[in-house]
A and B are shown apart, each in its own frame.
Chain A
Amino acid sequence: MIRRLLRTPQGAIGVVLLALVALACVFGPALAPRDPEALDFLGRFHPPGAGHWLGADQLGRDVLSRLLVGARTTVPLALLATLLGTLSGAVLGTLSAYLGGRWDEAIMRTVDAVMAVPGLLLALLIASTLGKSGGNAMIAVAVAFVPGMTRVTRSVALAARRQDYVAAAIARGEGGAWIVLREMLPNVAAPVVIETTIRVSFAVMLFATLSFLGLGAQPPSSEWGLMVAEARRFLHQAPWMIAAPGGAIALTAIGFNLLGDGLRDALNPRDER
């Protein structure tokens, strides 16, 4: 499975990018060349170069060190938010497809209605209600993902439901649990895992956007979206202050997108490689 994933170019690049991100998440503080909190008045706006590989910010803090430490406050939360949102959406979507008929109609029309509120707005409303913090932003992102994932899971589950192997199981007299867990789930899981992987990149971006708008992580955290927000005031003096966290967000998002595309190829059971 992993070998098949690495054989696709997207999968290989994605895995490498995400391995770097994971390294930063686990060993970020240890890898940081300097103390991310250390103020250095003389080193303010130090351009990238020896001493500060990615430059220094308005307080003389090392941007690379802040970035490495900030990975922890960005990526794991985005992952957790996606998992929470996906799981709830997957359960709701499968339930809707399984119940069918009027229940399915009612659930899906309501999900469609909730989708009329843009994800970012929904996240903003929830984050502002719960109060500004990274944890609350995570819940907000998770909730914003539920309607979309419900739709995806339902359509995949319905496609599996229509297959004759499910009909064969029903005709055989299998119980509901077997049909859902053993016949349908393995066939539903692959597309849902792919969709989830790609959605992590949305979560990373949504999360950073919330922080950027002041409703996610709060200073002095070095969450990447927050770093961009703080750096905006100094974009004339120190464009690297924006480029570094912006690039980190983009690379992480690209990593998850590539991994998702790679998985799409690798998880296809009919594809002989």
Chain B
Amino acid sequence: MILQIDDYSLDYATRAGPRRVLDGVSLSIAAGEVLGLVGESGSGKTSLAWAIMRALPGNARESGGAIRLAGQDLRGLGGAALRAIRGKRIGMVFQDPATSLNPTLTLGRQLTEVLERHQGLSRADAWRAGTCLLARVELRDPAAMMRRYPHEVSGGEKQRVVIATAFACRPELILFDEPTTALDVITGARILDLFARLRRETGVAGLYISHDLSLVARVADRVAVLEQGRIVEEAPPARLFTAPRDAYTRRLITAVPHPDRRLVEDAPGGAALLDLRGITVRYGRAGLFARRRPAAVRGVSLEVRAGEILGLVGESGSGKSSIARAATGLAAFQGSLALDGRPVAAMDRAYRRAVQIVFQHPDSSLNPRHSVAQLLARPLRLYGGDLAEIPRLLEQVRLPADYARRYPHQLSGGEKQRVAIARAFAARPRLVICDEITAALDVSVQAAVIELLLELRRAHGTAYLFITHDLNLVRQIVHRIAVMRAGELVDLLPAAALPTARTHPYTRELMDACPAPIG
């Protein structure tokens, strides 16, 4: 066994007493094997990675168990012995390459320092070896790449450098902590391909930590599911998806978006509710000393029909959020809007009431100094309504009525997003624009929020413009899909037609990058 963890438990000392993070965790990874570790936020999966690397925070208390690397218990090792293992026998790939690389050192320096440290290479030899390593992770012009600084290269290129660093000393084990979460879908898919190739070539063992069950299923030989510090189930991915034994695993699997499992069956009528014509959005202005930035959205036209769910898909920087900002008067734009066929000259109260928006981060979209009751009272005061409706609004999003007195920081992420949804529905809108509203949430919470949205739609006949980067999620719930890339609309077609229709090559690429989960 390369890695063997036996009955390992961990607590964090907090003001309110010890809090259990890992509870009797046992797992093992054989040579050349990749174990996937799946859990939602707070499950303790990242703490386990720190425990293996022996980099736990100061308030961590280990209450038992062993962590063995090739038979040697890491728990008893001192500083020098650990430093000889870190980077040499265990490599690590981090979640966000933008923050895990030092901004003031060249990529080459950050790669070669491991070679100098662990292989005793001279500066010049390490540089040559580093250049070869960058070529192996399929970076073009590795010699030039070595001399660049992190801010000069893309996110995917950065992550390749981090991977090259992790593989540099031919470690026995590599820990991957959500290595594609911070990347765009297509970039992430290519990183996974690279990892698969390097794995074949080197035969390294891996622990792949992620919140994304379907992603882990693609890279791992076995998958362990972590729930609140306990491993509830461990199985090969195919078996896990087809015959989950544990109740929590089953819930997790049903929560994973699956394009074939449609959640919306009706086909709403054809009348256009909101019509966007030739929308162009530009930020900033040309000044004496600043050049004008390129447009975030260029000449996009699309319509949301009454009662319809329209999905708007694209990677970061594609301009999908700018569409939302234009339609809600948050960004100046060229082009025209029409509501119910009547041109919108100025965004009057009637328009704003009809078109509501829910943002990605409820932490930011709910004013921390307003109570839930105050937050919900605003639309009622503005658009007319009775303050006595507040308990009903809360009940509608399945929150207890006494939450009205709470403040946002006293709620969980999912609860906050429910309050934001309740606020949008307090206006009794015709269209709600959902801008990545589940991107910051766990899968099970995401599934519950989606279910809530669909239920609200059944009750009120509301149309949604659902903006997301998650193609699988969108294919479950929308009637039509719009695909954006670099400020332009490249595809607009019925969701049902997506698998068979002749689409833009970019749409095809997006679909390939997020295959449907097994099962």
Contact = CB atoms under 8 A, between A and B. Distances in A.
Interface in B411-427: 423, 427
Interface stretch (B113-121, B249-257, B361-369): B361-369
Interface stretch (A51-59, A109-117, A169-177, A223-231): A169-177
B409 interface: yes
29 contacts: A101-B285, A164-B361, A164-B364, A164-B365, A165-B364, A165-B365, A165-B366, A165-B367, A167-B325, A167-B330, A168-B357, A168-B359, A170-B328, A170-B330, A171-B330, A171-B352, A171-B357, A172-B382, A172-B427, A173-B347, A173-B348, A173-B352, A173-B353, A187-B367, A187-B369, A269-B368, A269-B407, A269-B409, A270-B409
Nearest to A183: B367
Given A172-B378, A174-B378, A167 B365 contact: yes
B410 to A, nearest CB: 8
Nearest to B327: A171
B379 A172 contact: yes
B230 to A, nearest CB: 27
A186 interface: yes
A221 interface: no
B85 to A, nearest CB: 38
Contacts of B427: 172
Contact of A170 (B329, B361, B369): B329
Nearest to A272: B409
Contacts, number: 57
Q: Which of B366, B369, B382 has the most CB of A within 10 A?
A: B369
A163 interface: yes
A191 B252 CA distance: 42
Of the four ranges (under 10, 10 to 19, 20 to 34, 35 or more), the interface on chain B belongs to: 20 to 34
Which 3 residue pairs spanning A and B have beta carbons closest together? A164-B365, A173-B352, A171-B328
A155 to B, nearest CB: 17
B293 interface: no
Interface of B: 285, 325, 328-330, 347-349, 352-353, 356-357, 359, 361, 364-369, 378-379, 382, 407, 409, 423, 427
A267 to B, nearest CB: 11
Nearest to A165: B367
Interface of A: 101, 163-165, 167-174, 183, 186-187, 269-270, 272
Given A167-B330, A269-B407, A172 B369 contact: no
A174 B348 CA distance: 11
Contact of A171 (B329, B366, B369): B329
B355 to A, nearest CB: 8
Nearest to B423: A168
Given A167-B359, A168-B359, A174 B382 contact: yes
B458 to A, nearest CB: 25
A269 B369 contact: yes
Nearest to A187: B369
A165 B420 CA distance: 10
B359 to A, nearest CB: 4
Contacts of A165: 364-367
Contacts of B361: 164
B407 to A, nearest CB: 7
Contacts of B329: 170-171
A191 to B, nearest CB: 13
Contacts of A163: 364-365, 367
B315 to A, nearest CB: 21
A171 B364 CA distance: 15
A172 B357 CA distance: 9
Contacts of B367: 163, 165, 183, 186-187
Nearest to B366: A165
Given A169-B378, A172-B382, A173-B347, 5 more contacts: A164-B361, A171-B330, A171-B356, A174-B378, A186-B369
Contacts of B378: 169, 172, 174
Contacts of B368: 187, 269-270
A106 to B, nearest CB: 12
B385 to A, nearest CB: 13
B296 to A, nearest CB: 16
B31 to A, nearest CB: 46
Contacts of B365: 163-165, 167-168
Contacts of B352: 171-173
A272 B16 CA distance: 11
B165 to A, nearest CB: 34
Nearest to A189: B369
A168 B417 CA distance: 13
B326 to A, nearest CB: 11
A173 to B, nearest CB: 4
B180 to A, nearest CB: 26
Nearest to B362: A164
A44 B357 CA distance: 77
